Chains A and B, each alone.
Chain A
Amino acid sequence: MIIANAEVLQLIELGNAVFLLKVHCPEIAREAQPGQFCNVKVSDSNFPLLRRPFSICDVDGDSLSFMFNVPGEGTKTLSHKKVGEVLDILGPLGNGFKISDDYECAVFVAGGLGSAPFPFLTKAMPEEKKIYSFVGGRSSGDVITYGMKNAIISTDDGSKGFKGNVVELLEANKAILDGAKIKVFACGPTPMLRAVKDFCMKYGYNCEVSTECAMACGFGICQGCPIQALDKDGYYLVCKDGPVFDIRKVVI
């Protein structure tokens, strides 16, 4: 965990106000693990005041990528950055996904911008593991498959791929998962994570979810991002104990 200057290398719009920001930041790039995040200072002034947390979308040598959309002032400011500008980045933060021998097949489930951590995780998975990426969105423009392998798509309005939500898509494709030792990795809106959790509990799949919560610091000093613990009394902190949790540890 360090604070580093990162030079903007590229900023492209993937579609529907979703951006991919690539920065040169060897200090953080060499430490980063899939599922971790960085806290980015988007302006030099006190507005917006707080850093913005972004999943590490990808690491390519000395560079890091982040995916973001533009719902607020902070990300709007970020979307106007120019190549060569320098950002102040704190990272890598939190605990990422576990890559282990316990499963043969990794099933990624992403809703909307929940695709963000998966390009890095895809790249980090050993080659012998099968990967299926289930990617959902409200409409065709909201489906982000950037950097994902074997993407199977759903949209709520049926404008692209399967008509329905991403967990219904999983159910519909369950046959391809049968027989393999699988682990599910999910990132997306909370209702989606809840449905993924129910799906995994129903079929006995291990599952890790990447969670979100409003936070100020990103490393445990503000205590602003609690998530109800399932395996003990009290809370975990999303920033320090997560953002990736085994679904058996937390209340989604």
Chain B
Amino acid sequence: MDLSVQIGSMRLKNPVMLASGTVGYGNEISNLTDLNKIGAVITKSVSLKPRKGNPPQRIVETSSGMLNAIGLANVGVEEFIKTKVPFLKQFDTNIVCNIAASSIEEYVECTRILSAEDVIKAFEINISCPNVREGGLIFGHDLRAVGEITRKVKAATDKPVIIKLSPNVPDIASYARVVSEEGGDAVSAINTLVGTSFNIYTRKPKLFNVTGGLSGPAIKPVALAKVLEIKRQVKIPIIGIGGIMTWQDAAEFMIVGATAFEIGTVNFVNPNAGVEIAAGLVEYCRKMGIKKISDLTGSYII
């Protein structure tokens, strides 16, 4: 059974990727799962300077989903290289570094600095964090800016560049097309949907930030539709994200067009979900007579 998939020059032993912001820098979750059995681990967003993140409340549970407004809390590039990268070196998996920035120059600078770290195999550029004003969303909703970021970040590194797309746009495929035209290696879709929640007794927002990013099973149908929309129009690999809890969800994402997929919110509930999903996919392929899991990608019949 060949579970391997390819994202640019990065080969993954299986299509399971742990989504940024749901595994920290790998250390805490490594006590509860075997990262060596995962295709890739995507670090928490790293920005040039450290960020404290938003005050509480940062998390609200919703029906089959959750809202978060963490605010890109992170240690910054320098500390990341000094204290986080050495730990990540021990694992036999691909480390993808997610980068957040408040200017195009900052994206380029972060990528350039981190490119020197051998353990980092690819970059995921977060142009779509809805929770901070400088989180990139302003770029994620601007076709020209997405093109410029893709082109300039690609020029700053030899490693694959994945652009993480916002679902909060009317025509997501046009953004994927721009990424493809400017040399991006892949897109990941989707980032969280903007949502909110209010306390009906105090009439105040539950999140300090008022709005947050909705994730979890609640967004899966939306994410599947976005992946399908991109797949029908653009050739580069798509990394599917959005409410994947089980191997069945993962298979569905691959069928509609994902080459690989990221699991996020499920890590909070079942930190070993990635390993279980990979095992479930093996069984599924065996039953279905699929020899290479990559054959599943875009195999939908309409």
Question: From B18, which residue of chain A is reached at the shortest CB distance?
Answer: A221
B29 at interface, CB cutoff 8 A: yes
Could you tell me which residues of chain A, from 211 to 240, have a CB within 8 Å of some CB in chain B?
Answer: 213-217, 219-228, 233-235, 240
- The secondary structure that dominates the A interface is loop
**How far apart are the CA atoms of A217 and B55 in the complex, in Å?**
18
Q: Which residues of B contact A (CB under 8 A)?
A: 21-24, 28-29, 31-32, 44, 52-61, 63-66, 68, 70, 73, 216-217, 245, 265, 267-272
Residue numbers in A under 8 Å from B61 (CB-CB) = 48-50, 214, 216
Residue of A nearest to B68 (CB): A224
Residue of B nearest to A47 (CB): B64
Considering the chains assembled together, what is the distance between the CA atoms of A227 and B208 in angstroms?
A: 13
Q: Does A99 contact B (CB under 8 A)?
A: no
Interface contact B217-A216, CB-CB below 8 Å: no
Residues of B within 8 A of A223 (CB): 21, 24, 44, 53, 58, 70, 73
CA distance A2 to B23 in the complex (A): 16
Tell whether A1 is near chain B: CB-to-CB under 8 Å: yes
B59 adjacent to A214 (CB under 8 Å): yes
Query: Which residues from chain B contact A226 at a C-beta distance below 8 Å?
Result: 53-56, 58, 73
In the complex, what residues of B have CB within 8 A of residue A3's CB? Answer: 32, 270-272
A-B contact count (CB 8 A): 99
Q: Is A46 an interface residue (CB 8 A)?
A: yes
Residue interface mask A123-154, B partner, CB < 8 A = 1: 00000000000000000000000000000000
Known contacts A50-B66, A214-B59, A233-B52; A220/B269 CB under 8 A:
no
A216 lies within 8 A of B56 (CB):
no
Q: How far is the CA of A48 from the CA of B52 in the complex (A)?
A: 29
Instruction: Give Cα A215 to B61, complex, Å.
Output: 9
Q: Interface residues of A, CB < 8 Å — how many?
A: 30
User: What residues of B have a CB within 8 angstroms of the CB of A225 in the complex?
Assistant: 56, 58-59
Q: Is there a chain B Cβ closer than 8 Å to A51's Cβ? A: yes
Q: Known A49-B265, A222-B22; judge A216-B59 contact (CB<8 A).
A: yes
Bound-state CA distance A226–B66 (Å) is 17
With contact pairs A47-B64, A49-B64, A235-B52 given, residues A217 and B267 touching in the complex (Cβ less than 8 Å): yes
6 contacts between A and B (CB under 8 A): A47-B63, A222-B70, A223-B70, A224-B68, A226-B55, A228-B55
Q: In the complex, are the beta carbons of A49 and B65 less than 8 A apart? A: yes
Q: Which residue of A49, A227, A240 is within 8 Å of B66 (Cβ)?
A: A49
Query: A1-16 CB contact bits vs B (8 Å, 1 = yes)?
Result: 1110000000000000
Evaluate contact between A221 and B56: CB separation under 8 angstroms: no
Residue among B24, B55, B66, B270 making CB contact with A221, cutoff 8 Å: B24
Cα-based distance from A1 to B30 in the complex (angstroms): 11
> What CA separation (Å) do A49 and B216 show in the bound complex?
8
A72 and B22 CA atoms in complex are apart in Å by 25
**A41 located at the interface, meaning its Cβ lies under 8 Å from any Cβ of chain B in the complex:** yes
Could you say which of B59, B63, B216 contacts A224, with CB atoms under 8 Å apart? B59
Q: How far is the CA of A225 from the CA of B44 in the complex (A)?
A: 16
Shortest Cβ distance from A239 into B: residue: B28
Say whether, besides A48-B61, A50-B268, A220 and B55 are in contact (CB < 8 Å). no
Q: Assuming the A-B contacts A3-B271, A47-B64, are A220 and B59 also in contact, with contact meaning beta carbons closer than 8 angstroms in the complex?
A: no
Q: How far is the CB of A2 from chain B (nearest CB, A)?
A: 8
Partner of A219, one of B28, B54, B73, B270: B28
Q: Which 4 A-B pairs have the closest CB atoms?
A: A224-B59, A217-B268, A216-B268, A220-B28
B21 / chain A contacts, CB cutoff of 8 Å: 222-223
> Could you tell me if A216 and B32 are in contact, using CB atoms closer than 8 angstroms?
no
Expressed in whole angstroms, the minimum distance between the Cβ of B151 and any Cβ of chain A is: 32
* Cβ contacts under 8 Å, A219 to chain B: 28-29, 31-32, 271
B31 contacts A1, CB within 8 Å? yes
Query: Beyond A50-B268, A51-B269, A221-B267, is A235–B53 a contact (Cβ under 8 Å)?
Result: yes
Q: How far is the CB of B264 from chain A (nearest CB, A)?
A: 10
Contact B269 A50 (CB under 8 A): yes
Contact between B56 and A222 (Cβ–Cβ < 8 Å)? no
Contact digits for A75-99, partner B, Cβ 8 Å, 1 yes 0 no: 0000000000000001000000000
